[in-house]
Amino acid sequence: DVKVTQSSRYLVKRTGEKVFLECVQDMDHENMFWYRQDPGLGLRLIYFSYDVKMKEKGDIPEGYSVSREKKERFSLILESASTNQTSMYLCASSPRTGNEKLFFGSGTQLSVL
Amino acid sequence: AQSVTQLDSQVPVFEEAPVELRCNYSSSVSVYLFWYVQYPNQGLQLLLKYLSGSTLVKGINGFEAEFNKSQTSFHLRKPSVHISDTAEYFCAVSLSGGYQKVTFGTGTKLQVIP
């Protein structure tokens, strides 16, 4: 089975801190994604990557950046965390073709105080 | 750019009754369509997907969905729900061809009442 692993299940940070969320997949998938999930808003795409060192902005990239130095790892960076970035963050991966399902990690619940 | 609208945020239904969860999409090009389910305190898993061909798609757990291009809809149905179907359901769309940017709807919470 494909495994998408997110480094932390729960994370508490202070306003202004730099935050790194890590995601690793073990199935050699080309595509990787970062979403945030908020009640009533569903999943909103922050960034996605279709290859090493390649990235594309999603629908809500403001306040975030990403890094993909290796194929299996996709990092989400909050340069200066703010309280409105408190959310559940979901990482996902999929093969290159656009018709495959996404494999999701178990999520990181980030609280910014 | 593609988008998805899920018209109902919550749908209560009695056990063994039929249910339809509505999804409409917007795109100027051909799309792939998906339904995912998230059970309480669990991750998302794929229910079914439409890529091409037959407009009626069958998925896991007795769910099915029908692609209607003229109405740009992809509604999810089940003829008889069980308590275990209580979950949040997400419709998603990606463009056929090009990079796989997958856009999700806001979700519909299905509450099955005993």
On average, the pLDDT of chain A sits at 93
C-alpha span between A48 and A58 (Å, rounded): 7
pLDDT attached to residue A97 = 72
Interface test with chain B among A30, A35, A37, A99, by most B beta carbons within 10 Å = A99
Is B108 at the interface with chain A, CB within 8 A?
A: no
Tell me the C-alpha to C-alpha distance, in Å, between residue B15 and each of A87, B49, B54, B80. Answer: 32, 25, 29, 7
Provide the percentage of residues in chain B whose pLDDT is more than 90.
74
- The 10s digit of each residue's pLDDT in A5-41 is 998 899 999 999 999 999 999 989 999 999 999 998 9
A106 at B interface, C-beta within 8 A? yes
Chain B contact set for A92 (CB, 8 A): 102
pLDDT recorded at residue A57: 93
Q: What pLDDT, on a 0 to 100 scale, did the predictor assign at position B99?
A: 65
In angstroms, rounded to a whole number, what is the distance separating the alpha carbons of residues B8 and B15?
19
φ, ψ of residue B83 to 5 degrees: the values are -55, -35
**B98 contacts A102? CB cut-off 8 A:** no
Nearest in space to A6 (alpha carbons), one of A67, A81, A91: A91
Sheet holding A19-25, edge to edge: A4-6, A19-25, A73-78, A64-70
